[in-house]
């Protein structure tokens, strides 16, 4: 799957070298959407080779990688886009667009990635991380795994007894449904904010690409530091649901700050910039926490038992199969990511930034309130 995705992205990057504007836009959109498959692949592999107790920490590495690339990627692309294309490429009459150099660099990197995946990536389906000798990750309740902090299988039903297997399956399916809904709503709101942020800085402060790059880099640095220094260490203590809710609450605060920015942009621009920086910090915390926490939470609801004889994963319910459950979960988020910018941009250019961010803040607060029951789900491992 990973190699196939990389090859498809390579094809899209090759088309991006052409000068035709429509073809360029379609090819870059193809690249961005197909490259998301590698993220799904990384998450699936980490879910296969980690135990429930350390899965959230392992998934944080995906977020850290995102944050690092968020910092170094835009400057690299801007640098190569500003460099003239070598005459050897243009002398043949083959017309290239101004982004041909970044596209060519992307093509080279993706080819190397494809080769690396073919040579070095083993098959992890049906495999599982070794359980520690104390059996902490291997405890079962009526034949089901406790699955760490988030799995309802080990949560008591309030009657001094554990949930039955049927009740556990029903509860886990319900939690997965709630997580898909939260993922869709969150990414719909958050991606809209991301998409309109550069509109805001250009309209109010007339920032150029360099200043916007500093802002995006600042968010990436804070996010990477939070994921490496806080999220990975605190996840086991706080719980996946509670950590995700904290990130959503932080996003609510950031949206409030963004709604205030236009009010001070004319009379007191220095104050407006301070509010923008505060919003950036809140967004960085949100970026560091929510998606990784929700993904870990969803992963912990899936079937995680392995047949001792065959070594393959056993299936308690079709809806709890890891591939299907995580695929539907991630798809819900991508649907929100596709719809969110459309709605946010329509609102931004129709009603203005203050109304757009204020309405988004209200929606984010409602989402945070609706996640209270998810945040309260903590297992009581015996």
**pLDDT value of position 139:** 39
Neighbours of 304 (CB within 10 A): 27
**pLDDT value of position 308:** 60
Q: The domain 147-382: what is its CATH number? A: 1.20.1250.20
**pLDDT value of position 96:** 66
Per domain, the residue ranges of the chain are: 1-122, 147-382
Q: How far is CA 334 from the centre of its chain?
A: 9
Q: Per residue in 127-176, pLDDT tens?
A: 555 555 454 444 333 334 444 444 444 444 333 346 777 888 888 899 99
**pLDDT value of position 352:** 94
**pLDDT value of position 381:** 36
Q: Per residue in 20-48, pLDDT tens?
A: 545 445 555 555 555 666 666 777 777 77
Q: Per residue in 257-286, pLDDT tens?
A: 999 999 999 889 999 999 999 999 999 999
**pLDDT value of position 340:** 94
Higher pLDDT, 322 or 250: 250
Q: Minimum mean pLDDT among 29-33, 65-69, 114-118, 156-160: which range? A: 156-160
Q: Is the pLDDT of residue 355 over 80?
A: yes
């Amino acid at each position: 799957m990973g190699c196939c995705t990389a090859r498809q992205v390579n094809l899209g990057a090759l088309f991006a070298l052409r000068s035709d504007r429509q073809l360029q836009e379609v090819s870059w959109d193809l690249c961005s959407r197909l490259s998301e498959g590698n993220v799904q692949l990384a998450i699936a592999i980490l879910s296969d080779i980690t135990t429930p107790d350390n899965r959230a920490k392992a998934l944080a590495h995906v977020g850290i990688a995102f944050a690092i690339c968020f910092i170094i990627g835009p400057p690299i692309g801007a640098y190569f886009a500003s460099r003239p294309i070598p005459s050897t490429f243009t002398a043949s009459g083959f017309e290239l667009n101004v982004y041909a150099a970044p596209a060519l660099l992307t093509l080279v990197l993706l080819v190397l990635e494809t080769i690396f995946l073919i040579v070095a990536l083993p098959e992890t389906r049906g495999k599982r991380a070794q359980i520690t000798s104390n059996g902490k990750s291997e405890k079962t309740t009526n034949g089901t795994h406790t699955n760490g902090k988030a799995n309802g299988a080990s949560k008591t039903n309030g009657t001094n007894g554990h949930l039955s297997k049927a009740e556990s399956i029903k509860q886990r399916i319900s939690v997965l449904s709630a997580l898909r809904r939260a993922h869709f709503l969150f990414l719909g709101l958050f991606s809209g904010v991301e998409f309109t942020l550069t509109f805001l800085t250009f309209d109010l402060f007339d920032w150029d690409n360099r200043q916007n790059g500093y802002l995006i880099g600042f968010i990436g640095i804070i996010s990477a530091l939070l994921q490496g220094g806080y999220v990975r260490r605190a996840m086991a203590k706080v719980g996946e649901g509670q950590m995700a809710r904290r990130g959503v609450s932080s996003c609510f605060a950031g949206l409030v700050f963004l709604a205030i920015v236009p009010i001070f942009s004319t009379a007191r621009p220095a104050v407006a910039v301070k509010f923008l920086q505060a919003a950036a910090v809140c967004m960085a915390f949100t970026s560091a926490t929510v998606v990784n926490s929700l993904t870990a939470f969803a992963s912990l609801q899936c079937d995680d038992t392995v047949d001792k004889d065959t070594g393959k994963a056993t299936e308690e319910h079709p809806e709890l199969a890891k591939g299907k459950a995580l695929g539907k979960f991630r798809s819900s988020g991508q649907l929100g990511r596709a719809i969110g910018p459309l709605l946010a941009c329509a609102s931004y250019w129709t009603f203005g930034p203050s109304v757009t961010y204020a309405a988004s803040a209200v929606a984010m607060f409602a989402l945070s309130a609706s996640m209270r029951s998810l945040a309260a789900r903590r297992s009581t491992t015996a």
